[in-house]
Structures are given as structure tokens and as C-alpha cells.
Structure 1
Amino acid sequence: MAQRRTPFGDRARYWFDSTLARGAPALVGWMALLCLAIVVPASAVLVWTDPDAPAPLADRLTEVWRLTGETLRLGGATGAPLRVTMSVLLALVALLYVSTLVGLITTALTERLTELRRGRSTVLEQGHAVVLGWSEQVFTVVSELVAANANQRRAAVAVLADRDKTAMEEALSTKVGPVGRTRLICRSGPTTDPAVLTLTSPATAGVVLVLPHDEPDADAEVVKTLLALRAALAGEGSRPPVVAAVRDDRYRLAACLAAGPGGVVLESDTVTARLIVQAARRPGLSLVHQELLDFAGDEFYLISEAALAGRPFADALLSYPTSSVVGMVRGDTPLLNPPPQTPIAPDDLLIVISRDDDTAWLDDCAELVEKAAMASGPSTPARPERVLLLGWNRRAPLIVDQLRRRAQPGSAVDVVADGREVTARQVSEADTQSGTDLILTLHHGDITRPETLRRLEVHSYDSVIVLGQDPAPGQPQDDPDNRTLVTLLLLRQLEEATGRELPVVTELIDDRNRALAPISPGADVIISGKLIGLLMAQISQNRHLAAVFEELFSADGTGVRLRPATDYVLPGCETSFATVVAAARHRGECAIGYRSHDDSSTSPGYGVRINPPKAERRRWMVEDEVVVVGKD
């Protein structure tokens, strides 16, 4: 069979590609031939069309060479062959020098730009905030720091994480949005390397926040980061305040020792469990916590008020027309809702909820109180509660323990989960710790299947808590939320079928899934990472607030409560908020706001109003609730 002849064009292209594959010498040769093929004919045209060109052919060829040499920077000297050769040699040497110099400069600039893109330059700032680590909490922390720095001219937040600098900047720009006057600075590298930590200049920082990530070794990573920070600050005269968070309380002591004196370490799982239980006992309480913790509205401040020194604490409650007093700090000890007759010492700091630190001003509001509108009946008594716990994760035993602490005799918790989530032994261990006032029962079943929920008398429970599974190693972090969303969708179907609303408290991992959750407006959703981020941001601005929040969110101490408005004012009566404050004072509580039932489905506050003016008047209905700081 005759061999097929390859077209000439294909063979020529193949030969050309083969010569290029030989490397730089072949490429330089082809470039030289290409340039000569263009420059020589063009130079000849210029010479032959020049009316002043010499007539002899040799002189014209010499002129063509001169133009070619000047164009290609080859000297262009004419005369003896040696002279021409030396001219070309010098031109090549000059070309080699210039091209090498340009290459070195280009390489140096490229390396410098690459280093800057990788985030390897040192931050030169004073009083800036340093955020170490990367998780979903970083967006909440940075957003709150930006809000806190809104009235400052020069503010900066430096984020260090073992991620690409450009990717971090793009993610922060997308999720945080406009940052105003605050400058966001990202640096890339492991947070456990002291040499890398110096890139953020922690010695000159105003505060350092260490974020936990969602991997199984998250707490150990936090401790290592704190130790690296300690090594990076060795020899420095002063250390910035440190705020960190761990998931497991077993790591808290080690983290506190690594953070050093003045460091604050939060237990994220414990705080989340407390907030879930509080919201389960009083629907809507998570909205109050959200209002108190973010910088968008009113928040906690510590102020000194010499004019109130020596007077009882009860007088301070009606001394601020636009701020709410909830306690005081004596030394380093917070006294939330102390007894009304507790005297205020000259060195005490008042704990107030206010719009800003300069909006707390004195003025007697006692004349606004209308005693005729105050209720005098007993408080609503506590009763046994039945809680349905759908799902199980590492926070479930903590939730059971929190439910036990204030459980009335006869209270019960029914757990529904499959064998992959929890075993009977785990529930038995939690039941052993739960004492005699709480009955804990395990029911096996898949909470993402409709038949499982239909078998339960869901509406017979006082509250329903939906938990997601702990993500397995290598599993995407939003997978637990996927199961939770399916369960919520089935519960929503039960609500529509019966026409009765369920008191559901939902735990989500990703804040973006809040908009996807098929729940009623104003329902309680606990975004664990977001709440911890809000707490860390608040404490970073004033570390003395750490003890205040520890007391507020404890199970046994003084905390934020939602009470029926009828415990304080007569139903249907129109009166001022100062009257509610005075009624709460008689009950040994500090009133800080209310939740209107008529607006409970209206965003963005869903009826929650924190720190209203004392002079604000409204008609108080039976379904309204008052937000107080007090004990159960």
C-alpha cells in the first residue's frame, strides 16, 4: 500500500515547531531572522527612494547596512571587515547588558509583587485589631469591629490566616461590605509560627482575637496559636489584650495559661448551649441577645458617675432618660441587678445599655412613673416543662445539663435521633448527670423522615430544639445545616396541617442558611459561630465586659429574661416605660426593653425594642413581654 504523502505545509509547520522545542537559542535565531526579513527590505526601500542616496551600488548597500544596524542597535559602522565586526560585537555586548539589567529589575519587581500578593510584608500600625485564624466567625468579628470603629479616623483590622491573601480579601469584601474608614489588611501564613505572627505587629496592636476553626483539632490549634503569640511577644514591654474561644472546656485552662494575665477565653459550646436553652424556655430571647451583642443598636458600656456616689442602686434605674442601668462593676467583680439598697461607691462603674458611650446623661425620671398603672399581682409561677430534642451533637449533653439546672419536678426531655448520631450509652451518661428533676428518654428515628415526626405529638411539647449533626472529618461544614433545613421543612408542614405554630429553636452553623430556613418570622435561630463572634467583638472593645456576659448567660446567675407585661403593668393601660422600670424595680429586676406582640412578625426587630426612652408611652397588651435582667 502506497504511503500517503504529507502536505508540505504540515511538514513545514512540524519542522518549525521542532526547532522551537530546542529552547531559547532556536527562539533567538528565529527572532533574528524575522527581524532581518523585515528590517533589511524596509531599509533598502528607504535608500532606493531617497533622492540624495549615492548612485554606486556599493554605497547604497553600505547605507542599507547602516540603517539596518541603527534599527537593530548593531552599531552600523562601515569600512574594513574588522571594524564592522567589532562594531557588531560591542552592540551585542551592550544589548546583553541592557537586556540582563531589564530582566533582573523585572524579576525583582515580580518577586516583590508576588510577596505582596501573598501577604508577607509587615504591618506597621498602632492600636489596630489583629484577628488570627479563619472561620465563619471572621466575617462577624470583622463586621462588628468595623461598626465599632465607625467614628474613628484611623482604624485598621489585620487578619492573619493560612489562606491565600487575595482569596481572603475577596471573601471579606463580599461578606463584610463597605468598611468606611477602617482599613482591612490581610496577611497569609500559619498562625502557629511566631515569625509569621510578627507580620501583624501584635506588640503595637490594641487587641488580638484568636478564632477557632471547625476542624476536630480546633482547640489544640487555638492553644498553639496563643503559645506562638506569647513567643512572638517575648521581650516586649507590654502585651495587648487577648480574646480567644475554644469549643471544649477541657482546653480552657490551657488556653487561659497560654493567653496570659488579662486574656479572655470563651467556651463556645457552653455559651451556645446556654443561649439555646434560654430561647427554648422563652421564645424570642435570641432576638434580644442579638440586639444586645451587635454594635448596630444599643450595647453595654461601663461609665463612672460621681453624682450617684453614696446613693442606693435603685435610684440609678430612673436616673438616665435614654439609657438602662443593669448593674455595676466593683473592682473586677460585676454586680448585675444587685439588691436595690446596695450603695454605689465612688469607684464603682455603672453597667448601662446605651446608644453610645456619650449618650448616658443624668436626669431624674421619677415624675414619669404612674403608680396607678403598675400591676401588683404575683409573678407567673414556673411549671414543669416538656422539651423535644431533635438530633444530637457534641453540645446536646451541655443542653441537657442546662435544662436540668432550673427544671421543675416532673420536667422531661425526649430525644429523637438515629444510631449514627447518638447511642443509648451517651444518653444514659447525660441522664446520670441530669439529676432527679428531669426525665431523659431516647427515641430512635431519622428526623429527616416525615413518618418519624408524625409519630410524635409535637404540639404537646413546650419547646422543640432542632440540632444538626457534628460534621465528620473532611465533610463540608454546611452539611449539618442541610439536615436541619429538611427537618424544619417537615415541621413547617405539620404547622400548616394543624394550623398551630410550634415553639421551635433551631441551631444553624452557617448564617447564610438563616434566610433559607422554613420557619416563621421572628423564630429563634441560634447561629453558634455568629454569637461567639459577636461576644468576642464586644469583649475586644472592653475586656471587663467578659465577666458581665459570663454572668448574663449563665444558667444559675442573673440573666436576660422575657416576662409577661401583665406582671408589671395593667393590661390595656397606656403608660410610660419609666412605669415599667419602676414596677420591675419593686420586683428586684432591671427592665431594659420590651417585645410587642403586634410587631412580632415584622422585621427587622420582630417587636423587640431594647433601651427605649423612659418617656416613651404605649398601650401594654396581654401578649406583650418585658425584657428584664434578673433571676428566675
Structure 2
Amino acid sequence: IDNDLIPVGDSRTNDKISPSSSLRLLGTEVLFRSGNPLLEHDLHRVSVSTAKAIICVSADVTDESSADVSDSKMLRQVLTLKSISAARLLNCHVVVEIQDIDNSDLIHLVAPKFTEVMCSHDIIGRLMIQVARQPGLAFVLEELIGFEGSEFYMKEWKQLVGKTFREITVRFDNAVPVGICSGLGQNSARLNPDNSYVIKEGDKILVLAEDEFSYTVNDGSYDATLGNEDLSSVLANWTPLLKKEKLLFCGWRRDMADMIKELDLSVSAKSELWLLNTIPTQDRQELFRDGGHKDELQVENLVIKNVVGNPNVRRNLEKLHDLDVTGKPTGETATLDEFD
């Protein structure tokens, strides 16, 4: 970002949050200020009222209780920003990072349509599932998220209102439309919508482009229907060929239940998921329930196998022994070459 100013607020002293001399920037000035982001006075010190965007970064956590404490601070920070906004002193986009996806509803409850909430821990877990199932996807995601090459951009184009998604696919010479975003709420984004979807007032077109200024709407002289066959009848009778899979999770995360549910949606029936970690099988069900905050883990397609062992120890990986919920061997075993 050329010639932009990025103020960074932190409760630590300036000498502890200042960047090292190795930081190389292309015309951007970074200003560090020590203060409490929960106090309006300290927020005004970094001129929060003139910000184009505000990013509220959550502290790193190691367990579920720490995640709730961290998210409670984020909630208070959102309330502070909302009070400034209520006084008409703030008019910008606010992005808040939380550590537990279950706490996102609280922020949406106290500040609806005010912030965009991101749970980095949950996103990373979902990405790990997708990358494991699609080899090479990690390189694609790295290319999309980075600032080199093309990235995702969203913008509303009044001249495209009333057009179908099929028609707008040829309305950008230097960008590729990939979806529609109709707001900041959950399920507001639609990737690869149906060709018959009609662009409405307020819809933002999601595209892949070099940067936000490298593309614009063309004159529409190209007919989007040329050379396109109607494949609706073919797709209506098409069913994916799914086979049973055998997958292995090494280690444990505090949102393991969420990751298992995500995986359960994309595998065929009777696929096996082996969990190899040092946590006793008797304790895993309670961890899945998150101390009573979540319901019993229910899966439709996966068959969960529990293995107790250290993934860093070779002998624990050579042969896996399935245990029941009481910790007794079931007699079922598996070796690494059996996993997909």
C-alpha cells in the first residue's frame, strides 16, 4: 500500500512492539502506539475516526479457557468501537479475530452488521481438511491469499444489476467472476452460483484479478451464450463416485469435534477416521463436548477409531491398535500404508 499510514495499538510499551530493522516496506509508514484498545481515549490517540479499516487481532491461546478469555476481550473491544460509531465518529470496516467459532454469535448479537468476524483457528482447521483431501491445494491457496499475482476482490457494479451470472462472466476483460456476495452475514457469499442467478441491487461481484484497480466492466459486446451448451440435463443425472476412505489424524486440537464434522460432510459412508494422540480414549468424549458447551459428537459417514500413542514415536506409528471408549483393545489394527 503506497504512502499509507498504519497505526498499530498495543498494551505493551513501544520498545516491545516496534518492528525490527529488517522490516522492509514499500512506501507504507507504520506508527506504533502503546495503549489499551478497550479505552476510547487510547483509540482516539491513533485517530480511529479516520481509519479506512480496523483489524482487531486476538492474542494467541493454548486451551479452551484461554480462548474464551481472549474472545471476551474482543467482545469488549467491539463494544468500545460500537460506542464510538454510535457517536458518528467512526465509519469504516471492522474485522475482528476470535479464537473459538462458538463465540462468534455473541459478537453478532451485540453488534449486528457492524463487524466481520473471523476465527483463524477454525479457518486453519478447515483448510487442513481440504488440503489433505486435495493434494496441491495448499499451493493454490497460498497464491490466492498472498499479494503476488491475482487475489480475490469484491465490488458492486450498478451497470450489471439485472444481468444473470452467466452474462457477467464475460463482462470483465482482466478479471474472472467466481461468485456473489450480498452482505457481511453468514451464508451471504455464493461461490460459482447458478448461471440463472440475477444480480440484485447491493450484490458485490467476487472476482480474481491482479489488483482492485486492474479491471473494469467492458462494453458487453461479447455474447456469453456463444459456444455454451446446455449441460443441465447431464448434471441432473450425474452422481459422484465416492469410495470408502481410511484417514488418520495425528495429534489433537481443541476444536477437534468441528474438524471431524467438517470431514464427515465430504466422505462416503463407512469411511474410517483414526485418531492417534496421547489423550486417553475415556477423556476424548468429554473434550468433544467442550465441557458441556457442545452436543454429543454425531457423525453420519465416518467410523471413528481411537488410538493412544505419540505420533512422534516411530513404534506408535508402525502399527495402530484401535481402542474402545473404555480404553480396551478392540482387536482391530491398521498400518500407515492402508491410509489414503
1:3-42 equivalent positions in 2, closer than 5 A: none
Q: Matched residues, percent identical?
A: 22
Which residue of structure 1 lines up, in the alignment, with residue 133 of structure 2?
A: 281
Q: 1:434 is aligned with what amino acid?
A: Q
Q: 1:356 is aligned with what amino acid?
A: D
Q: Go from structure 1 to structure 2 and tell me whether the alpha carbon gap of 1:261 and 1:305 turns closer, same or farther (over 3 Å shift).
A: closer
Q: 1:342 aligns with which of 197, 215, 221?
A: 197
Which residue of structure 2 lines up, in the alignment, with residue 364 of structure 1?
A: 222
Q: 2:298 aligns with which of 434, 441, 458?
A: 434
TM-superposed CA distance for 1:304, in Å, is 4.6
Larger relative CO (CA 8 A, sep 6+): 1 or 2?
1
Any conservation in 2 of the 1:303–1:350 contact (CA below 8 Å)?
yes
| C-alpha distance in structure 2 between counterparts of 1:427 and 1:224, whole Å | 27
Q: Tell me which moved more, 408-417 or 308-317.
A: 308-317
TM-superposed CA distance for 1:341, in Å, is 2.4
Q: Go from structure 1 to structure 2 and tell me whether the alpha carbon gap of 1:354 and 1:409 turns closer, same or farther (over 3 Å shift).
A: same
1:443-462 equivalent positions in 2, closer than 5 A: 443-456=307-320, 457-462=335-340
| C-alpha distance in structure 2 between counterparts of 1:254 and 1:198, whole Å | 25
1:426-575 equivalent positions in 2, closer than 5 A: 426=286, 432-456=296-320, 457-462=335-340
Alignment of 1:389 onto 2:249: yes
Any conservation in 1 of the 2:129–2:259 contact (CA below 8 Å)?
yes
1:82-128 deviations in Å (ceiling 9; x for gaps): xxxxxxxxxxxxxxxxxxxxxxxxxxxxxxxxxxxxxxxxxxxxxxx
TM-superposed CA distance for 1:309, in Å, is 5.0
| C-alpha distance in structure 1 between counterparts of 2:198 and 2:96, whole Å | 35
Alignment of 1:297 onto 2:152: no
TM-score relative to the length of structure 1: 0.43
Any conservation in 2 of the 1:392–1:422 contact (CA below 8 Å)?
no
Q: Go from structure 1 to structure 2 and tell me whether the alpha carbon gap of 1:452 and 1:158 turns closer, same or farther (over 3 Å shift).
A: same
Q: Go from structure 1 to structure 2 and tell me whether the alpha carbon gap of 1:401 and 1:329 turns closer, same or farther (over 3 Å shift).
A: closer
1:89-108 equivalent positions in 2, closer than 5 A: none
Which residue of structure 2 lines up, in the alignment, with residue 262 of structure 1?
A: 114
TM-superposed CA distance for 1:274, in Å, is 1.6
Q: Go from structure 1 to structure 2 and tell me whether the alpha carbon gap of 1:365 and 1:423 turns closer, same or farther (over 3 Å shift).
A: farther
Q: Go from structure 1 to structure 2 and tell me whether the alpha carbon gap of 1:326 and 1:234 turns closer, same or farther (over 3 Å shift).
A: closer
1:393-408 equivalent positions in 2, closer than 5 A: 393-408=253-268
Structure with higher helix content = 1
Q: Secondary structure at the match of 2:18?
A: helix
Any conservation in 2 of the 1:212–1:246 contact (CA below 8 Å)?
yes
Q: 2:30 aligns with which of 154, 162, 184?
A: 184
Q: 1:359 is aligned with what amino acid?
A: S
| C-alpha distance in structure 2 between counterparts of 1:419 and 1:335, whole Å | 39
| C-alpha distance in structure 2 between counterparts of 1:233 and 1:313, whole Å | 35
Q: 1:161 is aligned with what amino acid?
A: D
| C-alpha distance in structure 2 between counterparts of 1:230 and 1:346, whole Å | 27
Q: Secondary structure at the match of 2:276?
A: strand
Q: Go from structure 1 to structure 2 and tell me whether the alpha carbon gap of 1:427 and 1:458 turns closer, same or farther (over 3 Å shift).
A: farther
Q: 1:418 is aligned with what amino acid?
A: T
TM-superposed CA distance for 1:427, in Å, is 6.8
Which residue of structure 2 lines up, in the alignment, with residue 317 of structure 1?
A: 169
Q: Which runs of 5+ in 1 are unaligned?
A: 1-148, 463-632
TM-superposed CA distance for 1:346, in Å, is 6.7
Any conservation in 2 of the 1:247–1:268 contact (CA below 8 Å)?
yes
TM-superposed CA distance for 1:342, in Å, is 2.6
Any conservation in 2 of the 1:427–1:442 contact (CA below 8 Å)?
no
1:249-279 deviations in Å (ceiling 9; x for gaps): 3422333345564211122332222212111
Q: Go from structure 1 to structure 2 and tell me whether the alpha carbon gap of 1:390 and 1:296 turns closer, same or farther (over 3 Å shift).
A: same
Q: 1:409 aligns with which of 242, 256, 269?
A: 269
1:305-362 deviations in Å (ceiling 9; x for gaps): 5665544322333443432111234577444322112334576442211112233253
Q: 1:198 aligns with which of 38, 44, 47?
A: 44
1:431-450 deviations in Å (ceiling 9; x for gaps): 94232321111111111111
Q: Secondary structure at the match of 1:433?
A: coil
Q: Go from structure 1 to structure 2 and tell me whether the alpha carbon gap of 1:307 and 1:257 turns closer, same or farther (over 3 Å shift).
A: closer
1:13-52 deviations in Å (ceiling 9; x for gaps): xxxxxxxxxxxxxxxxxxxxxxxxxxxxxxxxxxxxxxxx
Any conservation in 2 of the 1:198–1:232 contact (CA below 8 Å)?
no
Q: Secondary structure at the match of 1:187?
A: strand
| C-alpha distance in structure 2 between counterparts of 1:190 and 1:308, whole Å | 45
Any conservation in 2 of the 1:301–1:351 contact (CA below 8 Å)?
yes
TM-superposed CA distance for 1:225, in Å, is 2.5
Q: Go from structure 1 to structure 2 and tell me whether the alpha carbon gap of 1:341 and 1:180 turns closer, same or farther (over 3 Å shift).
A: same
TM-superposed CA distance for 1:303, in Å, is 3.8
TM-superposed CA distance for 1:285, in Å, is 1.9
Q: Go from structure 1 to structure 2 and tell me whether the alpha carbon gap of 1:443 and 1:336 turns closer, same or farther (over 3 Å shift).
A: same
Any conservation in 1 of the 2:70–2:98 contact (CA below 8 Å)?
yes
Structure number with bigger Rg: 1
Which residue of structure 2 lines up, in the alignment, with residue 38 of structure 1?
A: none
| C-alpha distance in structure 2 between counterparts of 1:227 and 1:308, whole Å | 37
The size of the alignment, in residue pairs, is 304
| C-alpha distance in structure 2 between counterparts of 1:387 and 1:331, whole Å | 36
Any conservation in 2 of the 1:311–1:343 contact (CA below 8 Å)?
yes
Q: Secondary structure at the match of 1:170?
A: coil
Alignment of 1:212 onto 2:58: yes
Q: 1:169 aligns with which of 11, 18, 22?
A: 18
| C-alpha distance in structure 2 between counterparts of 1:220 and 1:438, whole Å | 34
1:39-50 equivalent positions in 2, closer than 5 A: none
The alignment yields a C-alpha RMSD, in angstroms, of 3.3
| C-alpha distance in structure 2 between counterparts of 1:242 and 1:348, whole Å | 20
TM-score relative to the length of structure 2: 0.76
TM-superposed CA distance for 1:385, in Å, is 2.0
Q: Which runs of 5+ in 2 are unaligned?
A: 321-334
Q: 1:255 is aligned with what amino acid?
A: I
Q: Secondary structure at the match of 1:198?
A: helix
Q: Secondary structure at the match of 1:423?
A: helix
Q: Go from structure 1 to structure 2 and tell me whether the alpha carbon gap of 1:188 and 1:330 turns closer, same or farther (over 3 Å shift).
A: closer
Q: Go from structure 1 to structure 2 and tell me whether the alpha carbon gap of 1:330 and 1:189 turns closer, same or farther (over 3 Å shift).
A: closer
Q: Go from structure 1 to structure 2 and tell me whether the alpha carbon gap of 1:405 and 1:359 turns closer, same or farther (over 3 Å shift).
A: same
Q: Go from structure 1 to structure 2 and tell me whether the alpha carbon gap of 1:454 and 1:157 turns closer, same or farther (over 3 Å shift).
A: same
Q: Secondary structure at the match of 2:149?
A: coil
TM-superposed CA distance for 1:199, in Å, is 1.6
Any conservation in 2 of the 1:230–1:258 contact (CA below 8 Å)?
no
